[in-house]
Structure 1
Amino acid sequence: TDLETKVSLNLNLLDKDAVPQVMDLRSALQAYLDHRIDVLVRRSRFRLSKIEDRMDVLAGYLVAYLNLDKVIKIIRTEDEPKPVLIKTFALNDGQAEAILNMRLRSLRKLEEMEIKGEQKDLRKQQSELKKLLKDESLRWGVIDKELVDLKTKFGKSTKLGARRTELGDVPTIEEKALLESAVTRENVTVVLSEKGWVRAMKGHDLALSSIRYKEGDEACFVLEMETTDKLLLFATNGRFYTLCVDKLPGGRGFGEPVRLMIDLPGEAEIIGLTKYESEDKFIVASSDGRGFIVRSQDVLAQTKNGKQILNLSGKGKAASFAHFDGDTIAVIGTNRKLLLFPAEQLPEMARGRGVILQKYKDGELSDIKSFVLKEGLSWASGERTRTETDLRMWRGERAQAGRLPPTGFPRSNRFS
Structure 2
Amino acid sequence: MPNKEKNNLALNLSGAGFGKFHNVSLSNFAEKAYLDYALSVVHGRAIPKLSDGLKPVQRRLLFSMVEMSLRSDSKPVKSARVVGDVLGKFHPHGDQSAYDAMVRMSQDFVMRYPLIDGQGNFGSRDGDGAAAMRYTEARLTAFANVLLDEIGFDTVFFLPNYDGSYQEPLELPARLPLCLINGASGIAVGLSTEIPSHNVGEIADGLVAILDNRKISNNEILNIIPGPDFPGGGQVINSRSELAEIYLTGKGTFITQGRWFVEELARNKWRLVFTELPHGVSVQKVLEEIDELTNPKIKANRKSLTSEQNKQKAMMMSYLLSVRDESDKNANVRLVFEPKNSKTSKEEFIQLLLSKTSLQSSSSVNLVLLDLENKPKQLSLREILFQWLDFRVKIVRAKFSFKLSIVQKRLHILHGRIKILEAIAEVIKIIQEHDNPKIKLMKRFALDQEQVQDIFEMRLRQLAKIELLNIKGEIIKKKEEETIFLKVLKSKKSLEEQTKKEILSLKKLYGDNRRTLLKESAKVTFEAEVSEEKITVIISYNGWITIKNGHDIKISNIQFKAGDQYNLLFECTNLDHLISFSTSGRVYCRALLELSELKIPELPFSSLVEPAPNESFHTFFVGKPNDRFIVLTQYGKGLTTQMDKVLSKTRVGKAFLKLDDDDKPLKIIPIPKEESALALLTNNGHLLVIGTDSVKELFSGGRGVKLIGLRPGDQLRSACLVGENGLEFGALTKQGQSKILRFSRNKLLDFIGKRSQKGRKINSRLKIESMK
Structure-2-length-normalised TM-score: 0.30
Superposition pairs for residues 244-393 of structure 1, below 5 Å?
244-248=591-595, 255-325=602-672, 326-350=675-699, 351-362=701-712, 363-371=714-722, 375=724, 377-379=726-728, 381=730, 386-389=742-745, 390-393=747-750
Contact 1:234-1:321 at 8 Å conserved across structures? no
**Letter of the 2:718 counterpart:** D
Please list, as runs of the form range in 1=range in 2, the aligned pairs for 1:191-270 lying within 5 A after superposition: 191-248=538-595, 255-270=602-617
Unaligned runs of 5+ in 1: 13-18, 34-149, 152-180
Q: 8 Å contact 1:249–1:255 — kept in the other structure?
A: no
2:683 partner letter = T
SS at match of 2:624: coil
| Cα offsets for 1:348-399 (capped at 9, x unmatched) | 1111111111112221222233336xx4632364898944322232112111
- Bigger mean CA deviation after superposition, 292-301 or 381-390: 381-390
Distance in 1 (CA, whole Å) between partners of 2:539 and 2:707 is 29
User: Equivalents in 2 of 1:295, 1:383: separation in Å?
Assistant: 37
Query: In the TM superposition, what is the alpha-carbon distance from 1:334 to its structure 2 partner?
Result: 2.1
CA distance in 2, matches of 1:263, 1:409: 43
| Percent identity over paired residues | 23
Cα deviation for residue 280 of structure 1 reads: 1.8
Following the alignment from structure 1 to structure 2, what is the Cα–Cα distance between the partners of residues 392 and 411? 19
Q: Is the contact made by 1:271 and 1:321 (CA closer than 8 Å) also made in structure 2?
A: no
Whole-Å separation in 2 of the counterparts to 1:10 and 1:252:
40
CA distance in 1, matches of 2:665, 2:584: 6
Aligned-partner SS, 2:698: coil
Q: Which runs of 4+ in 1 moved over 4 A?
A: 9-12, 24-31, 249-254, 382-385, 406-410
CA apart distance, 1:410 = 6.8
2: CA distance, partners of 1:191 / 1:30:
55
Alignment pair present for 1:415 and 2:771: yes
- 1:282 deviation in Å? 0.8
Provide the secondary structure at the position in 1 that maps to 2:644. helix
Greater Rg by CA = 1
Instruction: Mark the CA change 1:239 to 1:9 in structure 2 (over 3 Å): closer, same or farther.
Output: closer
- Alpha-carbon deviation of 1:311? 1.3
Cα deviations by residue, 1:251-298 (Å, 9 ceiling, x for unpaired)? 988522221101234444433333222332111122222211111221
Offset at residue 216 of structure 1 (A)? 3.0
Question: Unaligned regions of 5+ residues in structure 2, if any?
Answer: 1-393, 408-478, 498-528, 731-737
Specify whether residues 28 and 327 from structure 1 end up closer, same or farther in structure 2 by C-alpha distance, changes over 3 A only: closer
Q: How far apart, CA to CA, are the structure 2 residues paired with 1:200 and 1:335?
A: 36
Tell me, what secondary structure is at the counterpart of 2:593? helix
Cα RMSD, aligned residues only? 4.1
**Higher RCO structure (Cα 8 Å, ≥6 apart):** 2
Measure, in 1, the Cα distance between the counterparts of 2:546 and 2:659.
Answer: 30
Residue 25 of structure 1: how far off its partner (Å): 8.5
Structure 1 residue 29: deviation in Å? 9.2
Structure 1 residue 337: deviation in Å?
Answer: 1.4
Normalising by the residue count of structure 1, what TM-score does the alignment of the two structures yield? Answer: 0.52
AA aligned opposite 1:340: V
Aligned length: 260
Matches within 5 A, 1:58-73: none
Q: Give how far 1:344 is off.
A: 3.3
1:395 is aligned, of 715, 729, 752, to: 752
Q: 1:150-165 counterparts in 2 under 5 A?
A: none
1:173 match? none
Change over 3 Å in CA distance of 1:30–1:349 after alignment to 2: closer
